[in-house]
Structure 1
Amino acid sequence: MLPRLAELETDLLDRRARAEAEGWAGDIEGIDLTLSFLRAKRDETQRRDQRLPVDLGIPKPRRGRENP
């Protein structure tokens, strides 16, 4: 997922540069908002990648109870 987010960020930065060159103020604002969401998603994904998996084990049936 991280490589795809980096690719999207690069594309948005290119689009933002074009919007600046063309003077499209509304597009710049929208792209900036999208970039902030994308960067937050990337940061969240990086934090999740640093977590170690938790082994929950295999559930075992309880003893002492009979199935009805």
Structure 2
Amino acid sequence: MLWPDPAQRDRLVEIRDNLLARIAEAEREGWLGEVEGLKISLAGAEGKLAQLDRRPTGGVVDLGIPTASTKSWP
């Protein structure tokens, strides 16, 4: 899965806010087709923000270096 770049979070928030304003304008003007298209774009922007929120932020996990065992298994 491709993850959005965390550095672009502010831009995604800006896009989401702009879409919300455009939806409100389209509803005021009665542009129903425009409203539906903007809602689809809004769902996409919110989905990308949700991906960023779910992304682990702990960084790199050191799992150590495996060692060879000289012990034989029964």
TM-score (norm 2): 0.66
CA RMSD of aligned residues (A): 1.7
Q: Per residue, is there more helix in 1 or in 2?
A: 1
What amino acid sits opposite 2:37 in the alignment? G
Q: Distance in 2 between matches of 1:14 and 1:28?
A: 11
Structure 1: unaligned runs, 5 residues or longer: 57-68
TM-score (norm 1): 0.71
Q: CA deviation at 1:51?
A: 2.9
1:8 equivalent to 2:33? Answer no
Identity rate, percent: 36
Structure 2: unaligned runs, 5 residues or longer: 1-7, 63-74
1:32 equivalent to 2:29? Answer no
Runs (4+) of structure 1 moved beyond 4 Å? none
Alignment of 1:38-53 (within 5 A): 38-48=45-55, 50-53=56-59
Task: Identify the structure with bigger relative contact order (alpha carbons < 8 Å, sequence gap 6+).
Answer: 2
Matched residue pairs, number?
Answer: 56
